[in-house]
Chain A
Amino acid sequence: MATTQLETNTKIHPYKMLLWVGFGSIVMMFAGLTSAYIVKKSQANWLEFDLPNLFWFSTLVILVSSFTIQMAVKKAKAGEMAQYRGFLSVTAILGLTFIILQIRGFQALELNNVALTGARSNSAGSFLLVIAGLHLLHLVGGVIAIAVISLKALAAKSSTNQVLSVELAASYWHFVDILWIYLFVFLNWVG
């Protein structure tokens, strides 16, 4: 990390600050979508439906994965390579599980006659697809980042060079987790 040597005037690493400012951006994107959802819901022609239970399971999975990635950070700092690799892999697997559960959730809705796209669709379902789908894309990005870090961890002898990367990945992962909790609450009760 060449830039770690750049002069900064705060204690925060520039990459971490970049990431945090980026969170602001992503929040605005979903704020835009959920506001549009509220506006749309208040107009005629809105289909009411319940979220399939699958989304409860995916919520549980993503919550657990936040815990495992935090453990990975802890182990990376302590230099315990084997456990560090282990927690990283578990997080990646939980991430993949989340992806599958979400897609299953969309399919369950379609089976329940809630069309998400196409001529029969109502924007209530389409909004769910777009909002949850975009969230899913952000999570896919996180899984890819963790996969890359895991590969490097397999090759590396020590974790000292990886603390920054895994910390960044963990912050992002927690962010995507919290974002989903917000969306889940929103889609279930607020919206």
Chain B
Amino acid sequence: MKNELVVDRNDAKLSMAHLYIAFAAVLLGGIAGLLQTLVRSGTIQLPAGIGYYQLLTAHGILLALVFTTYFIIGFFYAGMSRTMGKFYDQPYRLGWLGYIVMTIGTALTTVMVLLNEGTVLYTFYAPLKASPWFYIGLTLFIVGTWLAGGAMCHQYYIWKKVTHKKISPLFSFMAVMTMVLWFVATIGVAVSVIFQFIPWSFGWVDEINILLSRTLFWYFGHPLVYFWLLPAYVCWYVIIPEIIGGKIFSDSLARLSFVLFLLFSIPVGFHHQLLESGISPFWKYLQVVLTFMVIVPSLMTAFSLFATFEIAGRKKGAKGLFGWFRALPWKDARFFAPMVGMLIFIPAGAGGIINASNQMNQIVHNTLWVTGHFHLTVASSVALTFFGIAYWLIPHLTGRVLTGRMHQIANLQTILWAVGMFFMSGAMHTVGLLGAPRRTAYTTYQEHPDALGWIPYEVTMAVGGSILFIAILLLIYIITDLAFFAPKGKEDFPIGEVAEAAEKTPVILENWRLWLGIATVLILVAYIVPVIHMIEHAPPGSPGYKFW
């Protein structure tokens, strides 16, 4: 029986080490998030000299970087171990080394934020200048993730050599693809931090090329969102089919969509800089076109998921056009949380297409609409999927079980999250369209009537934020129980099988040279000319500023 397969004990420890930090970050970041909504609505004032932007920096870093990255890496180690077998010695040791380096970096950056020496928000835009140690912490964090990615690639490489197989297990392929995407993406931010921010923050150079630093940041920043999303897709493509008693619709289609994400998620960073002067409209246009290419693999994913659901439902005897939808295992927390995440991805994705459209970007740019948008994408679709994974992964790794009662509590968690997010993100979207800016503490702009009109929405956000915070407490209760107290036993690590009717997977989908080659060409086409222009005709450099 394939479901007898268990992740190796040592690999489980490595994976769990990541998951502990991930969920600790959720708790701390959630506290910050709640306080933000309370401050913005004028409900409270922060005590003890804590600054609003300090809190917001912590929230962004803890949730968007620490929670996501640690969870992703922990999940991948476990899944690769499950599908390829125990990690070989060398990659295993590399994995721990990566964990240590990442954690030193995380600690250093966190300390700098706590000391109020790094209040530059998680995007650390110049000319805001943090302590050099803030940037060094970030660098170590990134280097740690490279070691982790290296461990996975090495494992994959040895596995292929030992087994002589041309096609790797779908889970492992997707994990390696995600880490490859991460390697290519992080080069941009690493170059910027090492060659621009660190020398500038130490005072070795006086000025920084802001335009270039932002461009390098967004070269990384957009694929960053795919780095969050692809692991959720791994769950949707590979794990959900097994949980609902169905089959993976097509192995080739799943791999192809990941290949397309590698190709089209990087040469598109300018869609975050549509309002940036200093980049010619032609290059913005080109990158927006490439951005819209991502719609292709996204709709492929939607189609393939619906098909998996429909086929599984019809096999169970569901009738009518949509009977299969009701036949899904809604009471199963392993399904319910990711499924709600998938449903939320529908408005989230639609919002993304709006953001990337040049004209509409002028309506939503830097408003709370954007914040509402990514609380649907990363903070709901991705987060709920990760929670849903944790519900079986943690007991699987700790030798416990997800009991029927825990299924119910977890489903309550999901419902609270969805309701809280409906209020918070809904209000953010609406008030954003009315012009309310993001990243802004409480203010009425000298009693300006427009700004006063935003207050009720800010209050709605605070109501949603409070519900979300209760959901976070419930989540932490569930996670703690599953890690330390749940009854001992065996929880499955579900891995789907490919439908019999599906085509055989063509080997070309696993041709790394080819895909990396095309990705490089696309990146060069999209970036080389504008970046050279930014360096040759550099805008006046800027000194650093500390406004906090």
Does B associate with A?
no
